[in-house]
Amino acid sequence: MKVIYNYYDGTSYLLFDDNEEWPEGDWTEVAPPQGIYEPYYFDGEKWIGTSREDYEKNNPPEPYKPTLGEIQQAQTQMQLTKTANQLIKTQQEQADTLTELTKKEQRLKEIEKQQAQTMLEIAKLKGEK
Protein backbone atom coordinates (compact mmCIF):
# COMPACT_ATOMS: atom_id res chain seq x y z
CA MET A 1 0.00 0.00 0.00
CA LYS A 2 1.29 3.49 -0.85
CA VAL A 3 0.10 7.07 -1.01
CA ILE A 4 0.65 9.17 -4.13
CA TYR A 5 0.06 12.90 -4.59
CA ASN A 6 -1.25 14.96 -7.49
CA TYR A 7 1.38 17.33 -8.94
CA TYR A 8 -0.94 20.31 -9.09
CA ASP A 9 -2.79 20.41 -5.80
CA GLY A 10 -1.22 17.75 -3.56
CA THR A 11 -4.41 15.67 -3.48
CA SER A 12 -3.56 12.29 -2.02
CA TYR A 13 -4.61 8.99 -3.52
CA LEU A 14 -4.20 5.62 -1.86
CA LEU A 15 -2.92 2.66 -3.88
CA PHE A 16 -3.76 -0.58 -2.10
CA ASP A 17 -1.40 -2.73 -4.16
CA ASP A 18 2.07 -1.89 -5.49
CA ASN A 19 0.98 -3.30 -8.84
CA GLU A 20 -2.17 -1.17 -8.94
CA GLU A 21 -2.30 1.22 -11.88
CA TRP A 22 -1.82 4.88 -11.02
CA PRO A 23 -4.65 7.24 -11.96
CA GLU A 24 -4.28 9.37 -15.08
CA GLY A 25 -2.36 12.61 -14.71
CA ASP A 26 0.84 13.63 -12.99
CA TRP A 27 1.45 11.98 -9.61
CA THR A 28 4.38 11.61 -7.23
CA GLU A 29 5.19 9.61 -4.13
CA VAL A 30 6.79 12.70 -2.57
CA ALA A 31 4.39 14.16 -0.02
CA PRO A 32 3.93 17.94 0.07
CA PRO A 33 5.92 19.26 3.04
CA GLN A 34 4.12 20.81 5.96
CA GLY A 35 4.22 24.58 6.09
CA ILE A 36 3.64 25.39 2.43
CA TYR A 37 0.51 27.19 1.38
CA GLU A 38 -1.53 27.35 -1.81
CA PRO A 39 -0.88 27.75 -4.57
CA TYR A 40 1.64 24.92 -4.65
CA TYR A 41 2.76 22.31 -7.18
CA PHE A 42 5.36 19.62 -7.74
CA ASP A 43 8.03 20.63 -10.25
CA GLY A 44 9.18 17.06 -10.89
CA GLU A 45 11.77 17.12 -8.09
CA LYS A 46 10.31 19.10 -5.19
CA TRP A 47 7.18 20.89 -4.05
CA ILE A 48 7.02 24.62 -4.73
CA GLY A 49 4.62 26.58 -2.54
CA THR A 50 3.80 29.90 -0.99
CA SER A 51 5.04 31.08 2.40
CA ARG A 52 2.55 31.69 5.15
CA GLU A 53 3.25 35.43 5.05
CA ASP A 54 2.58 35.64 1.30
CA TYR A 55 -0.52 33.47 1.59
CA GLU A 56 -1.98 35.64 4.38
CA LYS A 57 -1.10 38.82 2.48
CA ASN A 58 -2.88 37.57 -0.65
CA ASN A 59 -5.75 35.87 1.22
CA PRO A 60 -6.74 38.06 4.15
CA PRO A 61 -9.27 36.46 6.47
CA GLU A 62 -12.84 37.50 5.89
CA PRO A 63 -14.22 39.69 8.64
CA TYR A 64 -16.49 37.92 11.08
CA LYS A 65 -20.14 38.26 10.14
CA PRO A 66 -22.43 37.80 13.13
CA THR A 67 -25.65 35.85 12.72
CA LEU A 68 -29.02 37.57 12.98
CA GLY A 69 -29.45 35.98 16.41
CA GLU A 70 -26.10 37.36 17.59
CA ILE A 71 -27.03 40.83 16.31
CA GLN A 72 -30.38 40.71 18.09
CA GLN A 73 -28.74 39.47 21.29
CA ALA A 74 -26.20 42.31 21.17
CA GLN A 75 -28.97 44.87 20.60
CA THR A 76 -30.92 43.46 23.55
CA GLN A 77 -27.84 43.62 25.76
CA MET A 78 -27.21 47.23 24.72
CA GLN A 79 -30.83 48.16 25.50
CA LEU A 80 -30.60 46.44 28.89
CA THR A 81 -27.40 48.32 29.64
CA LYS A 82 -29.02 51.65 28.67
CA THR A 83 -32.05 50.84 30.85
CA ALA A 84 -29.84 49.87 33.79
CA ASN A 85 -27.83 53.09 33.42
CA GLN A 86 -31.03 55.14 33.30
CA LEU A 87 -32.29 53.37 36.42
CA ILE A 88 -29.03 54.13 38.25
CA LYS A 89 -29.29 57.77 37.16
CA THR A 90 -32.89 57.98 38.34
CA GLN A 91 -32.01 56.40 41.69
CA GLN A 92 -29.16 58.90 42.13
CA GLU A 93 -31.50 61.79 41.33
CA GLN A 94 -34.02 60.42 43.83
CA ALA A 95 -31.32 60.11 46.50
CA ASP A 96 -30.18 63.70 45.80
CA THR A 97 -33.78 64.92 46.06
CA LEU A 98 -34.29 63.12 49.37
CA THR A 99 -31.03 64.58 50.70
CA GLU A 100 -32.14 68.06 49.69
CA LEU A 101 -35.59 67.53 51.25
CA THR A 102 -33.99 66.38 54.51
CA LYS A 103 -31.81 69.50 54.60
CA LYS A 104 -34.86 71.71 54.00
CA GLU A 105 -36.80 69.95 56.78
CA GLN A 106 -33.87 70.50 59.15
CA ARG A 107 -33.74 74.21 58.21
CA LEU A 108 -37.53 74.47 58.70
CA LYS A 109 -37.26 72.88 62.17
CA GLU A 110 -34.47 75.32 63.01
CA ILE A 111 -36.64 78.26 61.83
CA GLU A 112 -39.62 76.91 63.84
CA LYS A 113 -37.38 76.60 66.90
CA GLN A 114 -36.13 80.17 66.45
CA GLN A 115 -39.71 81.37 65.95
CA ALA A 116 -40.81 79.62 69.16
CA GLN A 117 -37.94 81.22 71.08
CA THR A 118 -38.83 84.60 69.63
CA MET A 119 -42.48 84.19 70.63
CA LEU A 120 -41.43 83.09 74.10
CA GLU A 121 -39.28 86.19 74.43
CA ILE A 122 -42.15 88.39 73.20
CA ALA A 123 -44.47 86.75 75.74
CA LYS A 124 -41.91 87.39 78.50
CA LEU A 125 -41.58 91.00 77.42
CA LYS A 126 -45.38 91.46 77.41
CA GLY A 127 -45.58 89.83 80.80
CA GLU A 128 -43.02 92.26 82.26
CA LYS A 129 -45.04 95.33 81.44
| Mean pLDDT in residue range 81-108 | 97
Q: Which domain holds residue 8?
A: 2-58
pLDDT at residue number 71: 96
Sign of CA dihedral 105, 111, 116, 117: positive
Compute the average pLDDT of residues 96-118: 96
Query: Rounded CA gap, 103 and 93, in Å?
Result: 15
- pLDDT at res. 24: 84
45 and 100 inside one domain? no
Q: Are 38 and 94 in the same domain?
A: no
Residues 42 and 25 in one domain: yes
What is the model's pTM?
Answer: 0.43
Q: What is the mean pLDDT of residues 99-122?
A: 95
Of 37, 41, 40, residue with least CA distance to 54: 37
Please tell me the predicted confidence (pLDDT) of residue 129: 62
pLDDT digits (tens, 9 = 90+) for 8-62: 888 888 888 878 888 888 888 888 888 888 888 889 889 988 888 888 888 888 8
pLDDT at 16: 86
- Per-residue pLDDT, averaged over 4-9, amounts to 84
Of 44, 47, 42, nearest in space to 7 by CA? 42
CA distance 118 to 110: 12
One-letter identity of residue 45: E
Residue 73 has pLDDT above 70, yes or no: yes
Specify whether 70 is located in the same domain as 54. no
The radius of gyration of the chain's CA atoms, rounded to the nearest angstrom, is: 44
71 and 42 in a common domain: no
